[in-house]
Amino acid sequence: MSLMIAILIITISLFIWGKFTPDIIALLSMLSLFIFGILDLTETLSGFSNPTVIMIAALFIIGEGLSQTGWTALAGEKFIKLAGKSKVKLLLITTLGSGLLSGVVSNTGTVATLMPVTISSAWSIGTLPSKLLMPVAFGSNTGGLLTLTGTPPNIIVNNTMIESGLEGFSFFEFGLIGLPLLILALLYFRFIGYRLLPSNKTNNKPVNISTTLHQWIGAYQVDGEYYRLRVRSVSPLLNTKLSDWDFENKFNVSILRIKRRHPNRLKGNSPFIELPTGDTEFLYHDIITVKGNTEAINALMITFRLGLLPLNPIENELRENLINQEVGMTEVLVTPQSAWVGKKIKSSHFFERYNLQLMAASRNSRPLDGQDITVKAGDAFLVRGEWSAIDELKNHYQHLVICGSPEGMAKTVTTLSIRSYIALFSLLLMIVMLVFKIVPGAIAALISAGIILITGCVPMVKAYKGISWISVVMIAAMIPMGIALQKTGTAELIANGLVSSLGSFHPVVLLGGVFLLTTTFSQVINNSATAVLMAPIVIIAANTLNISPAPFMIVVAISASTAFLTPVGTTTNAMVMTAGGYKFMDYLKVGAPLLLLFLITTLLLVPLIWPF
């Protein structure tokens, strides 16, 4: 047992030290348990087949599906619009929004989605990001308590109950305490926390997608080159192919996008052809988005008897019609080392081989109007294509600079597609299966994640990128620690210590002790690792006193999500630290009163909802 205690102390110390990533520490701990003969091979590797780990990995894919298809960005945008110009209202809406969103999306994904729009909104209404970002992080941590799948500690304590032969919690049962705590957090930040939040001046005015488009319009002077034309019944284009006409060379016009007036939805046809190819046919009432100068467009209209449609303000046109979940735009810079320097190209054909459309070119901050371009170092090109193609371009050429993050910009697109509704359906399907206990939780999550992958809501590569492998591996590697604590009797020793010191008092006192011990761990080590450590200890303590483990396990889930005192206790706190210009003491000053309120509220409500 002494060896087990030594490994436990070293593991916790390494988590606190923070020199290594949590997954590495957990793996070292797991290997130590095997090397020193505490666990056999099956027990050592049991975490990697544990339903908890499988479910959490699948939930990351579901969350990525909602993010990639526009739901999280749309939710963030709606929250900000509701706030208007009120600083207090913006504070409440962003905090509430992060709480509600984290009930279905990972806490990290929630903060990653809301952080850019929160920073942008803070600057736009005349306040500072430091007045909003910490509430967003704390709100996401609290909102994870709304549902069974909201945060890993909920899943861990639930599965620990089931593995112990006890009845688990229902999907929305955590919300019985999670919702009051979220409301408490809102009231705290409205009346107390806002005054404690620092006014840190940061230099991080964000460049969002709308701002970026506006800058591109000015830099490349593209506002007079985009038109929408309608194919009439008398047009020679009817039922011909794009390759039949050679628009680029004969008419000096680029065909960017085609909208079908009457798409055959029974065949699954989309109303949009985002990147027309030579085989694309023109049909009656097609609306064609084209690029060219006024003279070229006039000639095109006369030759093919096309109708001119009114164009929205160009920034709206670019945002709404040329950028969506599948297709985006970016700026590409040519470095002096690039193999393209010195090559003569036709602007209309440039990037064609990469399945990208050239929208405009610029040199020395001045647009290039000519069709024949000799590439020079520093030339900039505005291109349009599938987000994946844009992302791949930088992987093929070392001496090209892709400005910004195409993958990040893709997640800011708020227009919804058929895949958006498939992703939402997948989430709702999982919730239904969990609520009615149709299949085990891990299977429900896998089914929903499978639907998202099969239907292309998230490409397989992005799905793997969307999984926080550090969290998954860490949880899988820490589960054997829980087994070892029980096998060696260490969990029973710690549980007996809790019982002997606090058990003689009212169970509420023991409940408070569990809260304080768990929240102490959560300030310095990952909340999932904290839950894995505490869950078996609490089960034993409750059984020793012959009282229900349910209230104590709920308290473990709550207190594992109360890392309000340090920036290292949870990823969300660390994410907002730099953006908000926060210091260590800022978390302690703002988080301590909230933690005390959570402790008092938990001790009052939990025994009433889950009796001893």
Selection from 78, 75, 77, 84 nearest residue 124 by Cα:
84
Task: Return the DSSP state at 71.
Answer: H
Q: Which of 321, 340, 358 is the last residue of a domain?
A: 321
Q: Mapping DSSP to helix (H, G, I), strand (E, B) and coil, where does residue 43 land?
A: helix
Q: Are residues 541 and 495 in the same domain?
A: yes
* pLDDT one-digit tens code per residue, 417-431: 888 899 989 988 988
Residues whose CB is less than 8 angstroms from the CB of residue 513 and which lie 6 or more positions away in sequence, other chains included: 498, 501, 502
Q: Are residues 268 and 284 in the same domain?
A: yes
Tokens representing residue 59 in the block: 């939930």
Q: Which of 299, 321, 343 is the last residue of a domain?
A: 321
Confidence (pLDDT) at 597? 96
- Whether 601 maps to a domain, the answer reads yes
Contact 449, 245 (CB under 8 A): no
Q: Are residues 399 and 307 in the same domain?
A: no
* pLDDT one-digit tens code per residue, 470-495: 778 877 888 888 788 778 878 777 77
Q: Give yes or no for residue 385 having a pLDDT over 60.
A: yes
Task: Return the DSSP state at 488.
Answer: T
Alpha helices in 18-70 (DSSP H): 22-35, 41-44, 51-68
Q: How far apart are the C-alpha atoms of 196 and 582, rounded to whole Å?
A: 12
Q: Are residues 519 and 554 in the same domain?
A: yes
Q: Are residues 347 and 237 in the same domain?
A: no
Contact 187, 120 (CB under 8 A): no
Q: Are residues 312 and 350 in the same domain?
A: no
Selection from 486, 543, 517, 500 nearest residue 1 by Cα:
486
pLDDT, average across residues 91-100: 90
With cut-offs at 50, 70 and 90, classify the pLDDT of residue 569. low
Q: Which of 290, 321, 352 is the last residue of a domain?
A: 321
Burial state string for 34-57 with b = 16 or more CB within 10 A and e = fewer than 16: beeebbeeebbbbbbebbbbbbbb
Dihedral sign, Cα of residue 540, residue 543, residue 547, residue 549: positive
- Whether 10 maps to a domain, the answer reads yes
Confidence (pLDDT) at 207? 46
Q: How far apart are the C-alpha atoms of 105 and 65, rounded to whole Å?
A: 10
Tokens representing residue 452 in the block: 């998202």
Question: Which one is predicted more confidently, 26 or 208?
Answer: 26
pLDDT, average across residues 180-186: 96
Q: Are residues 303 and 343 in the same domain?
A: no
Q: Are residues 489 and 574 in the same domain?
A: yes
Task: Give the chain's mean pLDDT.
Answer: 82
Q: Are residues 355 and 298 in the same domain?
A: no
Task: Return the DSSP state at 438.
Answer: S
- Whether 263 maps to a domain, the answer reads yes
- Whether 429 maps to a domain, the answer reads no
Q: How far apart are the C-alpha atoms of 474 and 423, rounded to whole Å?
A: 27
| Number of Cβ atoms within 10 Å of the Cβ of 579 | 20
- Whether 358 maps to a domain, the answer reads yes
- Whether 362 maps to a domain, the answer reads yes
With cut-offs at 50, 70 and 90, classify the pLDDT of residue 500. confident
Q: How far apart are the C-alpha atoms of 447 and 453, rounded to whole Å?
A: 10
Confidence (pLDDT) at 409? 59
Q: Are residues 280 and 257 in the same domain?
A: yes
Q: Are residues 485 and 597 in the same domain?
A: yes
- Whether 268 maps to a domain, the answer reads yes
Q: Using a pLDDT cut of 90, give the percent of the chain over it.
A: 24
Q: Are residues 604 and 529 in the same domain?
A: yes
- Whether 496 maps to a domain, the answer reads yes
The CATH code of the domain that includes 232 is: 3.30.70.1450
Total domains, the chain:
3
- Give the domain extent around 223: 219-321
